[in-house]
A and B are shown apart, each in its own frame.
Chain A
Amino acid sequence: MTYYISCDSAAVSIGANETADALARHTGADAVVRTGSRGFYWLEPLIEIEHDGARIGFGPVEAAEVPDLLAAVESGDFESHPRYVGDIDTLLRDQGQCRLTFARCGVIAPTDWEAYVAHGGSAGLRSALENSGQAIVDAVKESGLRGRGGAGFPTGIKWQTVHDQPATPKYIVCNADEGDSGTFADRMIMEGDPFTLLEGMAIAGVAVGAEHGYIYLRSEYPDAERALERAIEVAREQGMLGADVLGSGKAFDIEVRVGAGAYICGEETSLLESLEGKRGLVRFKPPLPAIQGFMGRPTVINNVISLSTVPAIMAQGAASYHDFGINKSRGTLTIQLCGNVARPGLYEMPFGVTLDHLINDIGGGSVSGRPVRTAQIGGPLGAYVPASHFDTPLGYEELAEKNAMIGHGGVVVFDDTVDMAQQARFAMEFCDIESCGKCTPCRVGSVRAQEVIDRIIEARDTDADITLLRELCDTMINGSLCAHGGMAPYPVLSALNHFPQDFGVAEPAETA
């Protein structure tokens, strides 16, 4: 019998190593396989066994509960065990999940090449190598894949621009500076299935004619760094990276670079400055990074999930990916549900699921048992969506209509104890702390906004201060150099518009 248990850092943060050690003591270390996480964090530490061709889960299992669980498994009568979850694939299906990008995450040991290939890994790259660069770019365009980092720019069009540049060398840069609160999909796939990211970068390299790739990884993810470094080593041994990618005669190699604790370096031009060894100051655009990016050369810069999705598109065809989703939001969204919610985790679902279904049906409502009041979507620069708007389907344009954004797919749930004036203040405090300082609306505006919100909380001259706050937000939105200052007003304005009573305003304010 083989026992599967996650080595994902979030699972480890709540005791997965202790449970795995207890398992190994009873079964022998050879019987325990450490995998990535399935993303069922309310069930972690989750133990899986193989039974009748299915993976059966038990969770959450604390170390002390291991002997009892093993006895049940060995007796064959495990379905009545209190930690019995059942067939994992059935659970995923019942939730409406569709694992394309995360197909192998939680299933295999992260850097086991044979298991990777056995579960469909490298098929996308092999398919890509049979095609011209233009054909690969066309496939990515046809799939409808848009940048999963937040901006939602069509990935294929970005690749086309780099493909068409005569200048060399070209670079593939993976933005793994996943700093948004409420997001952890990048971390999960880098820890749980790192080969997929490397394969996606290699496909990008083959498509646009680049031979060098960089992964700019945030320093808060030491486990992801170890997994990536090991995966790169194995990928070189197996010929997926190096001078002759899978025998094609094309070269591509990848280097991991670790950031140094600056949220702004998740902004692509700031990231490139940092990668070049400078202060992470945002650049003016144009020129676009696709034309003058890293070291002034044509550069594809994509989010981890965008790149990790490309192998599935190349392996299964652009049309099969495009079949999922709604309107202009095609494929799957890797939703990261967290905050005050009963079943927090990673849900890869076709675009179009409503917030109500996600939070209340799948997520089980709040963990506190109190009514859900709002959810912040798309990270610290994303809007707070009130429960009255939870009928909104998750899609780029659908959320934009509500003055919200999907961002990197993070959904942070709050119950009715949340003070929205404090949340608004925090949004500006965060903007202040992490501002690169290059443009005035962001650098100074965020400080002034905190002062104004403090006065509103003190309720001295609320009407005048709210007018001032709205004008300041307008200046930041229209005058900031990048999305950091340009979007920090969104959580503030959404709090003000939907929850005016928290700011001491009795009447509902104008809904902008």
Chain B
Amino acid sequence: MACYRLVPEWNTEITTVQKVENMARSNGEADSAVAEICARHAAEEGPVLPILHDVQAHFGYVPDAAIGEIAQALNLSRAEVYGVVTFYHDFHREPPRSHSLKVCRAEACQAVGGRDVWAAARTAADSGDADIDLEAVYCLGNCACAPSVQLDGRTIGRMNVERVSALFAAGGRAGAPS
């Protein structure tokens, strides 16, 4: 369905050894951290999303082990929690890269060159080895200063092909408005 969300494709490059290491690390840590997060939200009405946000903030993603733990803590089935994790675009089930770049593909950005910015970002992501997760988003609410991208949570306006390519060339470290 989400054919332009590139994260899953990229993460196939992670080796099995790395995955096992990640899982081992996650499993060990998950016991206390996830339980603590669930306890913190226990009194809230409908706590699943706040818990998942906190789990992702802690691990950088939602480890498989956490799904079972959350289910147990909230008296839900694993399938229900899994269903929630996989419904929302924000939740990732694999460790992220160092930087996150969200590029707006929606109409207001399209009207001023957004299609070219997205194409350039995809080209740079496919050809380079920048440590950046590229994601398409559909509106950052920055439409009056379009085209827009969000780098590690910081919105940058009036983007163009040169600037977005430069972001990849700099490995996600640059990007101050210019």
Contacts and interface: CB of A to CB of B under 8 A. Distances in A.
A and B associate = yes
Interface string B108-127: 11111000000000000000
A423 B107 contact: yes
A183 B143 contact: yes
Given A181-B139, A280-B88, A44 B145 contact: yes
A184 B143 contact: yes
A14 B138 contact: no
A413 B138 CA distance: 17
Contact of B108 (A13, A181, A263, A279): A181
Interface in B118-166: 137-146, 148, 150, 153, 155-158
Interface residues of B, number: 50
A418 B107 CA distance: 11
A336 interface: yes
A14 B177 contact: yes
A13 B48 contact: no
A325 to B, nearest CB: 24
A376 interface: yes
Given A41-B145, A180-B139, A340-B112, A412 B107 contact: yes
Give the interface SS of chain B, mostly helix, strand, loop or mixed. Answer: loop
A433 B138 CA distance: 10
B106 interface: yes
Nearest to A180: B139
Interface in A8-35: 9-10, 12-15, 18
Residue among A338, A426, A432 with most chain B CB within 10 A: A338
Interface stretch (A85-93, A151-159, A215-223, A353-361): A215-223
Given A260-B89, A261-B90, A433-B138, A380 B106 contact: yes
Interface string A240-283: 00000000000000010111111100000000001111111000
B34 interface: no
A260 B145 contact: no
A413 to B, nearest CB: 6
Contacts of B4: 433
B88 A339 contact: no
Contacts of B46: 257, 275-278, 295
B20 interface: no
Contact of A260 (B91, B142, B178): B91
25 contacts: A12-B155, A18-B177, A181-B138, A182-B108, A182-B139, A220-B139, A220-B150, A222-B153, A257-B50, A261-B88, A336-B143, A338-B111, A338-B146, A339-B107, A339-B143, A340-B112, A344-B144, A344-B145, A380-B138, A412-B107, A418-B111, A426-B107, A426-B110, A432-B1, A433-B1
Interface of B: 1-4, 44-50, 52-53, 80, 83-84, 87-91, 102, 104, 106-112, 137-146, 148, 150, 153, 155-158, 176-178
Q: Which 4 A-B pairs have the closest CB atoms?
A: A277-B48, A181-B106, A339-B111, A260-B88
Interface of A: 9-10, 12-15, 18, 39, 41-42, 44, 178-184, 186-187, 219-222, 255, 257-263, 274-280, 294-295, 336-340, 344-346, 367-368, 376, 380, 410, 412-415, 418, 423, 426, 430, 432-435
